[in-house]
Structure 1
Amino acid sequence: MAEIEREAMEYDVVIVGAGPAGLSAAIRLKQLDAELSVVVLEKGSEVGAHILSGAVLDPVGLNKLIPDWKDKGAPLNVPVKEDNFYMLGEAGQLRIPNILMPPFMSNHGNYIVSMGNVCRWMAEQAEEMGVEIFPGMSCSELVYGENGEVKGVVAGEFGKNADGTPGPSYEPGMELHGKYVFLGEGVRGSLSKQVIAKYDLDAKSDVQKYGLGMKEIWEIDPEKHKEGTVTHTMGWPLNGNAGGGSFIYHLENNQVYVGFVVHLNYKNPHLFPYMEFQRFKHHPQVAELLKGGKRVAYGARAISEGGFQSMPQLEFPGGALLGCAAGMVNVPRIKGNHNAMLSGIAAAEAAMDAIKAGRSGDLLEGYDAAVRKGEIGKDLKKVRNVKPLWSKYGLLGSLTIGGMDMWMNTFGNGFLGTLSHGKSDAEATEPASKHKEITYPKPDGTLSFDRLTNVSFSFTNHEESQPAHLHLTDPDVPVNVNLAKYAGPSARYCPAGVYEFVGEGADTKFQINFQNCVHCKTCDIKDPSQNITWTVPQGGDGPNYPNM
């Protein structure tokens, strides 16, 4: 096909992703120089449409970015009042005393929020300062300069046929060029993945690790609602099958966030993360809370869990990786939004220094060091061994040895140094022949639900005539390798029912229902053959989360 001609627009800084990292960078740039031209490109139909997080927000990043956020009406309305940790058994629970937790694990001073609504508010602040924000604009390609640097992105390409050729209403999109390009796409972003590979940014870092987070919003009986209560659990139903746990956060209006995280380094390909979540809600403690209530929303997304040792180099020629695009989640705290904001601030300050010096398209010297040696690095370094210990020794090892290491890191250096994660999550998957199948109870339609019913509560929509945004490197691998050797784990690890094996025996076909995709990117991470690549669909498609 002939090379596509596109119009180009020039900016000082181009930012991909209107999440907490990208919006913080945009706001900070305008605070430093109101005359800078800054554009933020968001693939969701609106800002916040693709934002999914717990979320208990540590306001440290917001305090630094907009100190008077309360006066400006930021939607941080529910301070944490009660903090609970439980170890679950099938029929009961054991509370872990808060006093055993390192001080930084306390949620005192934090807020239960909808990060989607926080980002919508941040976008308003940014636009008032002159930032241009374009939702519904998927960034499908990187644009490179003469010296191999990233100089921009292609955004707003619409109207391709299913085979990838231009359709009758094809729009080629535009090239948006910047002196610097910030990638704040979130976990396993498609452009970030390309940049990391092209510039070998992970050459000196450990392998990245991930979890799958699933979340429902419930409206519950007002008599059971305790605004400001935060509860985390570990143990049942996962037990020894996988690492992970749950969160239950009581926000406003008799609503609770009910969430479940499964670490994606599990070995047994028969594990069904979504059904583990549904089974969790039948625990007596949880079932009693939800009894008489109704689920009003559902969503899922991957979580970066590698932490300090897994962050790639954050600077590349012409730009920087922000927030979860680089992996800045503090796993024991289940928090990353504060670090995402701080990274956006640090990147903006580095870019401002470079632009003032007349530079463009080079490495943003100082940004990587500012992250690793500043507040983000200190936050992540304290907990750097919890995840590898959990992977190696299970929950008990994580609680005991990891807890001791966190306490020692609180007051100095831990006794373990920095442990390695070992295998990638894809490599951790073992052949089905080594494991027993897991039988899951059928969803009852009251507390637990089938995947397709729940996906309808994510308000997901994809225009069906476009090319599938989920690409197979080899179309024969799903049946001939993954089904034959691993019992077809894609039919289970996807929380939206995108992948199916249809037919039997020699007639078995692999079917991709891309219309269901909630953009969690688990397939790109967990596929044991690494045969699936997640890319962006056309702009505006995907989930439309209201208050996640």
Structure 2
Amino acid sequence: MEREVMEFDVVIVGAGPAGLSAAIRLKQLAAENDHEVSVCVIEKGSEVGAHILAGACFEPRALNELIPDWKEKGAPLNQPADEDRFLLLTESNHIRLPTPPQMNNHGNYVISLGNLARWLAEQAEALEVEVYPGFAAAEVLYDEQGRVKGVATGDLGIGRDGEQKSGYTPGVELHAKYTLFAEGARGSLTRMLTDKFGLRDNCDPQTYGIGIKELWEIDPAKHKPGLVIHTIGWPLDTKTYSGSFLYHMENNQVAVGLVIGLDYQNPHISPFDEFQRLKQHPALRDYFEGAKRIAYGARALTEGGFQSVPQLAFPGGVLIGCTAGFMNVPKVKGSHTAMKTGMLAAEAAFEALKDGRANDVLDAYPALYEQSWVHQELKKVRNIRPSFNRGLLAGLAYSALDTYLFRGNAPWTFHHHEDHKSLKPASACKKIVYPKPDGKISFDKLSSVFLSNTNHEEDQPIHLRLKDPSVPVTVNLPTYDAPEQRYCPAGVYEIVQEDAGPRLQINAQNCVHCKTCDIKDPTQNIVWTVPEGAGGPNYPNM
């Protein structure tokens, strides 16, 4: 069976804030200039927003530019951020610190980013953007000159054995003059493009964190709408970059989460279990007493910032949003910068299409980025995240110096390293004994994955692929005590003892698409690929 081919002016991979902002901006420009542009957005989640997970304390700067009348149009920004607290946690106590200026949330909103994405999709469709959820882009397509000409979605109805089942349907080819990749952190197609075009040849490696989040419905007497709490310190050691958040949303709900830098050194660390410990801290525990946990999820996020932004444009396409890495780590925000870069790429693409220059590389996009407030914002905070590589206290001290004395204009730039190279041998690190979950405030992985509504067709090829199937047992287990069992927040990887010896079992049906394994595996032996479209988590209100 041959693939169906669909033709568009612009195809956008990923219906997150960046991709949808790009689509909306393209259609706005088309209307303003009376020049028709066909735009298609494909999304691997079962619906728009199904795979979106963020804090989120949202800065509306880009939204104000994109849709100035968003309030009248019913954007789901209902809870203003009213109060900031910044805490340094010790094991049994806390110290309230002055809130850094970057973390001042006056004018921001505590929101569900997934719900904002759903609303943005409605705005895009009203402008005649074609939005197709449930279609996972599995392959980049190239023309005879090596230029990107679009993407293909994955085949449906392939069995675990690789053979076609009775319901087999081939993927669809989506051809475009320009393809915008908005896959989020560690995009699988972005990784292929990076290798083909050398997009990281002239920048720092990207560095990542894993963010684990839960949504709770708490006692109305304890709920303080608009309260924004950030913490640093415990439960992680002072060598490990981490921070937590607790945001009071509307409807007596709070979002609680922990972010841990994936450059951590101790292979015994379990980010999931550290998060469960966090909730037991005296400064936070009271919020969860008698409350109900209603959602769980995890996602990797980019932390490299300014010095890790790759080459953004290449023949036939561009990278936008978090797949390129525009997160402002000190702000704990990346949605506003993702949206703006999508808008900038749309402006560059529209001008090329309008002027009949559809074969040109969109060099105007990186030029627009360098002139934008995104570039200025990221440059000013470029040294803060890497300053914590020397430890918590050194990072706090330098960050204060950089913020208040140099005001982001220090005449030097610190650099990043690849996260997978940071693990030390298990024998050189302290083992960690985590407390058993109490089932009230702390929980196990399987009950948590259940709350993520994760589902995959079981009879399909495993989308978590090993370059060398022997490495988990011959390298990872003896050297690092099989860290994949702990860095995965969904219980996907499990060492099983058999008569023939230990074996790595991959429970791919549990995968919440966080991409941590693809990032943290010490030998880079695990490759995350897309499963069948619509597979994965289905996050409500996250």
TM-score tier by shorter-chain length is over 0.9
Are the aligned partners of 1:182 and 1:320 in contact in 2 as well (CA < 8 Å)? yes
CA distance in 2, matches of 1:296, 1:9: 40
AA aligned opposite 1:333: K
Which residue of 2 is the match for residue 290 of structure 1? 288
AA aligned opposite 1:95: R
In 2 relative to 1, CA 155–120 (structure 1 residues): closer, same or farther, beyond 3 Å? same
In 2 relative to 1, CA 316–508 (structure 1 residues): closer, same or farther, beyond 3 Å? same
Instruction: Report SS of the residue matched to 2:539.
Output: coil
CA distance in 1, matches of 2:414, 2:429: 28
Deviations 1:29-78 (A, max 9, x none): 00000421000000000000000000001000100100110010000000
Deviation of residue 164 (structure 1)? 2.3
Instruction: Report SS of the residue matched to 1:508.
Output: strand
Which residue of 2 is the match for residue 489 of structure 1? 483
Instruction: Establish whether residue 30 from structure 1 lines up as the match of residue 24 from structure 2.
Output: no
Structure 1 stretch 116-125 or stretch 500-509: which is displaced more? 500-509
Deviations 1:408-434 (A, max 9, x none): 453x6125x11111x311000111111
Which residue of 2 is the match for residue 420 of structure 1? 415
Instruction: Establish whether residue 133 from structure 1 lines up as the match of residue 134 from structure 2.
Output: no
Deviations 1:372-412 (A, max 9, x none): 33111111111111111111x111111111221133453x6
CA distance in 2, matches of 1:265, 1:402: 19
Question: TM-score when scaled to structure 1?
Answer: 0.97
CA distance in 1, matches of 2:459, 2:348: 42
CA distance in 1, matches of 2:167, 2:252: 46
Instruction: Establish whether residue 406 from structure 1 lines up as the match of residue 410 from structure 2.
Output: no
In 2 relative to 1, CA 361–274 (structure 1 residues): closer, same or farther, beyond 3 Å? farther
Are the aligned partners of 1:406 and 1:414 in contact in 2 as well (CA < 8 Å)? no
Structure 1 stretch 84-93 or stretch 367-376: which is displaced more? 367-376
Which residue of 2 is the match for residue 76 of structure 1? 77
AA aligned opposite 1:454: S
AA aligned opposite 2:533: G
Instruction: Establish whether residue 499 from structure 1 lines up as the match of residue 499 from structure 2.
Output: no
Count of residue pairs the alignment pairs up: 538
Are the aligned partners of 1:241 and 1:268 in contact in 2 as well (CA < 8 Å)? no
CA distance in 2, matches of 1:343, 1:9: 26
Deviation of residue 538 (structure 1)? 0.6
Instruction: Report SS of the residue matched to 1:466.
Output: coil
Are the aligned partners of 1:316 and 1:362 in contact in 2 as well (CA < 8 Å)? no
Instruction: Establish whether residue 394 from structure 1 lines up as the match of residue 391 from structure 2.
Output: yes
Map residues 26-65 of structure 1 onto 2, 5 A cutoff.
Answer: 26-34=23-31, 35-65=36-66
CA distance in 2, matches of 1:174, 1:408: 55
Are the aligned partners of 1:180 and 1:351 in contact in 2 as well (CA < 8 Å)? yes
Map residues 37-436 of structure 1 onto 2, 5 A cutoff.
Answer: 37-98=38-99, 101-102=100-101, 104-155=102-153, 157-391=155-389, 393-408=390-405, 410=407, 413-415=409-411, 417-421=412-416, 423-436=417-430
Instruction: Report SS of the residue matched to 1:217.
Output: strand
Which residue of 1 is the match for residue 6 of structure 2? 9
AA aligned opposite 1:300: A
Instruction: Report SS of the residue matched to 1:222.
Output: coil
AA aligned opposite 1:530: Q
In 2 relative to 1, CA 510–67 (structure 1 residues): closer, same or farther, beyond 3 Å? same
AA aligned opposite 2:409: N
CA distance in 2, matches of 1:438, 1:496: 19
Deviations 1:309-343 (A, max 9, x none): 00101101101101000001111111000000000
AA aligned opposite 1:317: P
Deviation of residue 515 (structure 1)? 0.2
CA distance in 2, matches of 1:66, 1:310: 29
Are the aligned partners of 1:183 and 1:322 in contact in 2 as well (CA < 8 Å)? yes
Q: Identify unmatched segments of 5+ residues in structure 2.
A: none
2:510 aligned to 500, 516, 531, which one? Answer: 516
Instruction: Establish whether residue 474 from structure 1 lines up as the match of residue 468 from structure 2.
Output: yes
Question: TM-score when scaled to structure 2?
Answer: 0.98
CA distance in 2, matches of 1:251, 1:321: 32
CA distance in 1, matches of 2:420, 2:227: 36
AA aligned opposite 2:145: N
Deviations 1:239-289 (A, max 9, x none): 225210100000001000000001110111011111000000000111111
CA distance in 2, matches of 1:291, 1:69: 37
Map residues 451-466 of structure 1 onto 2, 5 A cutoff.
Answer: 451-466=445-460
AA aligned opposite 2:538: N
In 2 relative to 1, CA 361–522 (structure 1 residues): closer, same or farther, beyond 3 Å? farther
Instruction: Establish whether residue 541 from structure 1 lines up as the match of residue 535 from structure 2.
Output: yes
Instruction: Report SS of the residue matched to 1:400.
Output: helix
Are the aligned partners of 1:150 and 1:361 in contact in 2 as well (CA < 8 Å)? no
Identity of aligned residues (%): 58
Instruction: Report SS of the residue matched to 2:442.
Output: coil
Instruction: Report SS of the residue matched to 1:503.
Output: strand
Instruction: Report SS of the residue matched to 1:186.
Output: coil
Are the aligned partners of 1:19 and 1:48 in contact in 2 as well (CA < 8 Å)? yes
Are the aligned partners of 2:58 and 2:108 in contact in 1 as well (CA < 8 Å)? yes
CA distance in 2, matches of 1:154, 1:466: 18
Deviation of residue 297 (structure 1)? 0.2
In 2 relative to 1, CA 237–174 (structure 1 residues): closer, same or farther, beyond 3 Å? same
Are the aligned partners of 1:319 and 1:361 in contact in 2 as well (CA < 8 Å)? no
AA aligned opposite 1:208: Q
